[in-house]
Amino acid sequence: MSFSFILHDCPFQATTSQRTPGSQICGGRVTLTLVLGGVRSGKSRMAESLAADFSGSIIYLATAEAKDVEMQERIALHRKHRPKHWKTIEEPIRIAQALFEHATSNKLVVVDCLTLWMTNLLLADDAFETGRLEIDALITEVKRKRSNLVLVSNETNSGVVPIDSLSRRFCDEIGRLHQNLAGLADNVILMVAGIPTWVKRESNGTI
């Protein structure tokens, strides 16, 4: 099984002359910011702070499934940190459909996170068909440039090659996805121990 991750002409950008948590990232046109990092590195908190000053509506698209107590607690902690006026949508598989239904140019959508989404795709009963269709659908929706996006994902590929085939496939697919998104994004942030490193910034000096 292999998935194709070819993301074309993705929209997005971020703005603000000084990049600090909570600074505004949208400057009149749709934008894309990719936030990467390890587990408990501060990815979600950074994404939330980037969205905090956005003047329009904010949608939090969560991909996690509460299948055990630990994950239930993890989800509850994330909910606690989010402002109550943000609209939360929980969708483990069909995130493209969720974007199609809810994304508009006056909204900012935080997708948290792509790695859990990829896991859900790989573990689906019809993994190949589901993965292919959902990835293609997401690409199509992203290309429409209808909403500002902050995408959160785990940087999982800094270690050795995994020993089992499923883990290797996961690393291959999420790595390709990250490379495509990073190439298309206006801003790429790598979180380490709660500290953001701006791997890629807008070149016009407005960040």
* Domains in the chain with CATH codes: 32-200 (3.40.50.300)
Catalytic status, residue 78: yes
Q: How far apart are CA 53 and CA 1, in angstroms?
A: 42
Contact 118, 111 (CB under 8 A): no
Q: Is the pLDDT confidence value at 4 over 60?
A: no
Q: How far apart are CA 129 and CA 102, in angstroms?
A: 25
| Average pLDDT of the residues of the chain | 81
CA-to-CA separations, 41 to 79, 153, 158, in angstroms, rounded = 17, 11, 14
In this predicted model, which residue has the larger pLDDT, 146 or 10? 146
Cα-trace Rg, the chain: 16
Query: pLDDT tens across 141-189, in order?
Result: 877 778 899 999 999 988 889 999 999 989 988 998 898 888 878 899 9
Catalytic pick from 78, 81, 102, 178?
78
